[in-house]
Structure 1
Amino acid sequence: MTGACILMLGQHQFGSFTWGGSQASVFYLANAASGPAFARLIDRFGQRLTARLMAVFFAASGSLEIALAALRSPLWATAGACLLMGITLPNAGALARARWESEVKSAGLMRTALAVEATCDELTFMLGPLIVIALNSCVGWHAGLSAICISTLSGTWMLTRQAVTRPTPAPPTSVPTKTVLRDRRTLALLASLFLLGCSFSASEIGFLARAQDLGSPSLTGVLLALWAAGSATSGILLGARSFRRGPPMRYAWASRYTAVCATPLVLADSPWALAAAALLAGTAAAPVLIFGFECACELTPQSQRHEGLSWVTGSLTLGSMAGAAVSGCVTDAAGPHAPFIVAAACAAATALAAQVMGLDP
C-alpha cells in the first residue's frame, strides 16, 4: 500500500510511472535491508520503545515526502525521503506474530493465530490499495500517503499499549551476538521464501497482462480478488486443523502444493478458466505462508524472535521485487503468458529449495 502511494506521488511529481517506480523500489529495498537490524533492537529493548520511535520517524519521513513532492523537488531529494520511510516503517506483521508466539504455547493454537494473521493480511492487501486509490482520487494526490502515516502512527501506538500480550525484552546476557543467518535451515527457509515472493509477484503481473490480452483490463481486479479469496478461505480452514508433522515438513508439502497450483495459470486460455486457476492458486498462498512463519518461530530462539520474523518478511519483499522486475521484462519480450511460466518455475524452485537445502527432514 505504501509502495503504491509512493508510485502515485512520483507520477504526480515527475509525470512518469518509471520515476515513481524507482522511488518505490528505494523504499522496498531500504525496508527489507534495515528490517532485521531494527528487529534486533526490538528484541533487546522491547516493542513499546523501539516501534513507537520508528513510527514517529516514519510519519515524519512521510510528511517530508509529501512536502518535497508538493515543492517539485529533485529526484534525489524525494528518493532520500523514501529511503528514510523504508528504514523506519515498523514491521506490523512481525510485531503481531511475536505477540502471538509469546502468548500462545500450544502448537495448534499458534497455527490458528497465524491463520488469523494471514487472513487479516489478505483483507489488507485487498482493501488497502482500493482505499488509497479512492483517497487520492476524491481528496487529492497527497491523501493516501497522509492516511498511511496517520494509521501507522496510531496503529503502532495502540498495539504497543497492549501490555498483556507484549513480549518481554530479552536481558542483555541472553541476546546472542550471532545473527540467525548462521543457521543452515534458516537460510534454506529464507531462500525458499525469496523464490516464493518471486512467484507471487509474477502471478500478479500475469493477471494484469492476461486481462489486457483478453480485452478486459478490469478483469485484473476480479482475478486478484479471487486469488485473495482463495488464500483467505484456505487460511481459515487450515487454522482449524491439527497436524502430526512438524512445521518444516508441513512447509515442504505446502511448497509442493503451491508449485502444482501454479501450473493451471499457464494453461488457462479463457476468462473463466483464468478465474478458476486464480482461485486455485490462491488456496496455496495462505498455507505456505503460515507454515513458513511457523518454521521461523521454531528455528529462531525466543530472544531473536523479531529478527527471525523480520528476515521472513524481508525475503518475501525482495523476492516480490525481483519477480516483478523479471516478469515485466519477460512479458515485453515473450507475451502475456510468460509471467505465469515464471511464476510456475519459481514455485517449483521454492519446493526444490525446501527439500534440497534441508527443510524437508
Structure 2
Amino acid sequence: MPSPYRAIFGRPGTKSFSAAGLLGRMTLSMTGIGVVTMVSQLTGRYGLAGALSATIALSAALIGPQISRLVDRHGQRRVLRPATLVSLAAIAGLLLSAQQRWADWTLFCFAACAGCVPSVGSMVRARWAELYRGSPRELHTAYSWESIVDEMCFILGPILSIGLSTAWFPEAGPLLAGGFLAAGVFWLTAQRATEPVPHPREQHAKGSALRSRGLRVLVGTFVATGAIFGAIDVVTVAFAQEQGHKAAASLVLAVYALGSCVAGAVFGLLHLSGHPSRRWLVGVAAMAVSMAPLQAVASLTGSLTLLGAALFLAGLSIAPTMVTTMALVEEHVPRAQLTEGMTWTSTGLAVGVALGSSAAGWVVDAAGADRAYLVPLTAGVLAALVALAGYRWLRPGPAPSPSTPAARGIPSPAGIPADERHDPSRAN
C-alpha cells in the first residue's frame, strides 16, 4: 500500500471500521442488480424488475437522510441497528413474495420498506472526518481510500449477486446482500472508540443540512449522476442476455467499477492545488462525455468485450468526482450535520438510480438494450448542465479585505456553511 494510504491507518481502529464499512456497503452494489436479476429470471419482465429496483432506491433516498439526522443527534449505534433490522425484515419479505409469485403490489410494499437501510459509507466517512479534522491532506487520502472501497464493492457485488442468482437460485444475490448488511452494520456499531460524538442540540437548532445552497447543487447533480449508474446496470444485464451471455454482465459491470477504482487509487496519491469545485465540474463533464460511445459500441459491434473497454474508460472519472464531492460537502455543511450532508449526496444518487433504472427498464422492453444506452447518455448531459448552472454556489468566495474579521485572524461563526458565509445577502 503506498505510504499516504499506510499513514492514515496509523490511528487505532481505522482498519476495523473501514473493513466493517466495506461489508456494510456490499448491499448497495448487490441489492438493486440482484433484484433486477431475480425478477427478470422469475418473470421475464424487465420493466417490473427495473421498477422494483427503483422503488428500493427511491425509498432509501427518502428514508436515508432521516436516519442520518437521527445519527447526528443520537449516535450511530443507537440508530443504525434498529434501522438495519427493519430493512432486513423487508428484504426477507421481498424474496418470499417473489419466490411465491405473490401479487405485484406485495413486491412493491416490501421494496419500499427495504429502503430503510443506513448509508454505511456516510457513517464511515464521518469517522474519518472526526479523526482527521483540520488535516486536509490526510482527509483527502482517507476519502480517496473510501472511494476505492466503494468501487471494490461495485466490482465484487455484481459478480456475486448476478453470478449466484444465475448459477444457484434467483433469490441468492439479494439474500447474500442482506447478510453483508447485517454483518457490516453490527460490526461497525460495536466499535465505540471511533464513533463520532453526537450533537443533539446543534443539529436540532440548525434544521436540515439542505439549507446550504452548495449542498443542494451537489445533490441535484447527483440525481442525474445516479441515473447514469442505475441505467447502466439494467441495460448491461439486458444487453448481455440479448447476446446470450447474461452471467457475463457481472464481469462487464465489474470492469466499469475497476476503472473508477484505479482512478481513485491514483487520485489519493496526488497533492492537488486549487479549489475542489473546479475539479468537481471537470469530473461531472467527463462523466457525461464518457457515456457517448456506449450506444454506438452496443449497436454497431454487439461485443461485450468492447463494451467493457468503453465502460472501463467511463469509470475513470467516477472516483475522483466522488472524492471531490465529499470535500465540498465538508466545506458547505456544518460539522454537527456532516453525516446528514454526506447522506444527502447518497440520496441524490439513489433518486437518480431509481429514475435511471426504471427508465432503462422500460426502454429495454420497448426498443431493445442497444437503444437503451441512450438513457445514461441523456442523464450525463443533464448532470453536466445542472453542475454548470450551480457552479457559482460552489466556487470559493472572494478573499477577505483587510478590514474583515477573517483578515484580522478572527474566525468566522462556527457552523455556518461556506456558501452562506460567501453570500452577504443571506445574512438577514
Distance 1:322-1:104 versus aligned 2 partners, 3 A rule: same
Q: Write the distance in 2 (CA, Å) between the matches of 1:27 and 1:20.
A: 11
Mapping 1:1-361, distance limit 5 Å: 1-7=30-36, 10=39, 16=45, 18-69=47-98, 72-86=101-115, 88-105=116-133, 106-136=135-165, 140-205=169-234, 207=236, 220-268=249-297, 269-270=300-301, 271=303, 274-330=307-363, 337-357=370-390, 358-359=392-393, 361=395
Q: Deviations over 1:133-182 (max 9, x none)?
A: 44445654544444333322221111112223211100324533421222
Shift of 1:235: 0.5
SS of alignment partner, residue 271 of structure 2:
coil
SS of alignment partner, residue 3 of structure 1:
helix
**Letter paired with 1:31:** A
Q: Write the distance in 1 (CA, Å) between the matches of 2:295 and 2:98.
A: 41
Instruction: Say which is worse superposed, 231-240 or 210-219, in terms of deviation.
Output: 210-219
SS of alignment partner, residue 192 of structure 2:
coil
Q: Write the distance in 2 (CA, Å) between the matches of 1:220 and 1:37.
A: 34
Instruction: Say which is worse superposed, 227-236 or 124-133, in terms of deviation.
Output: 124-133
Q: Write the distance in 2 (CA, Å) between the matches of 1:180 and 1:360.
A: 15
Shift of 1:328: 4.1
Alignment check: 8 A CA contact 1:180 1:307 kept: yes
**Letter paired with 1:317:** A
Q: Write the distance in 1 (CA, Å) between the matches of 2:110 and 2:362.
A: 28
**Letter paired with 1:107:** P
Unaligned runs of 5+ in 1: none
Shift of 1:345: 3.7
Q: Write the distance in 2 (CA, Å) between the matches of 1:295 and 1:345.
A: 25
Alignment check: 8 A CA contact 2:293 2:310 kept: yes
Instruction: Say which is worse superposed, 9-18 or 40-49, in terms of deviation.
Output: 9-18
Shift of 1:356: 1.6
Q: Deviations over 1:274-314 (max 9, x none)?
A: 44422211111111122122222221111111211111111
Q: What is the aligned partner in structure 1 of residue 13 from structure 2?
A: none
TM-score by length of 1: 0.86
**Letter paired with 1:55:** T
Alignment check: 8 A CA contact 1:199 1:344 kept: yes
Shift of 1:238: 0.3
Q: Write the distance in 2 (CA, Å) between the matches of 1:41 and 1:84.
A: 18
Distance 1:144-1:360 versus aligned 2 partners, 3 A rule: closer
Shift of 1:222: 4.4
Q: Write the distance in 1 (CA, Å) between the matches of 2:360 and 2:168.
A: 33
Distance 1:4-1:332 versus aligned 2 partners, 3 A rule: closer
Alignment check: 8 A CA contact 1:205 1:339 kept: no
Distance 1:144-1:197 versus aligned 2 partners, 3 A rule: closer
Shift of 1:339: 3.8
**Letter paired with 1:60:** A
Q: Write the distance in 1 (CA, Å) between the matches of 2:123 and 2:281.
A: 25
Q: What is the aligned partner in structure 1 of residue 417 from structure 2?
A: none
Shift of 1:80: 2.4
Number of corresponding residues? 360
TM-score by length of 2: 0.74
Larger radius of gyration, structure 1 or 2? Answer: 2
